Amino acid sequence: MAYIGDAAVIFFVILGCVMLTLSGYSTHYLMTNGFYGLERDFDPTAEQRVYMRQLRLRDLHWMARDNRVKTDDSQSAV
């Protein structure tokens, strides 16, 4: 039998892993109809928008305070 070097064995193992991954991906793609319908149109509620805005403003004020930047302390409600 012919001697196969260590580099060739590593190359064939990596090649096999790539081929196995691609075949699994293609099988999953075909079985799930091309991944259609996986994305969600997420529209946050008004309460969540207000909450996230308050968090962003709070974080901005903390960063400004840490960097000693003078800011307006009036946090307007959304």
Q: Which domain holds residue 30?
A: 1-38
Same-domain status, 21 and 51: no
Q: Which of 3-7, 8-12, 74-78 has the highest mean pLDDT?
A: 8-12
Q: Say whether pLDDT at 8 is over 80.
A: yes
Same-domain status, 33 and 57: no
Distance CA 34, CA 10 (A): 33
- pLDDT value at residue 33: 79
- Count of domains forming the chain: 2
Same-domain status, 30 and 57: no
The stretch 12-32 carries a mean pLDDT of 95
Q: Say whether pLDDT at 76 is over 60.
A: no
Q: Say whether pLDDT at 70 is over 70.
A: no
Site of tokens 């196995």: 20
pLDDT, one tens digit per residue, over 32-69 is: 877 776 666 678 899 999 999 999 999 999 888 888 86
Contact 47, 29 (CB under 8 A): no
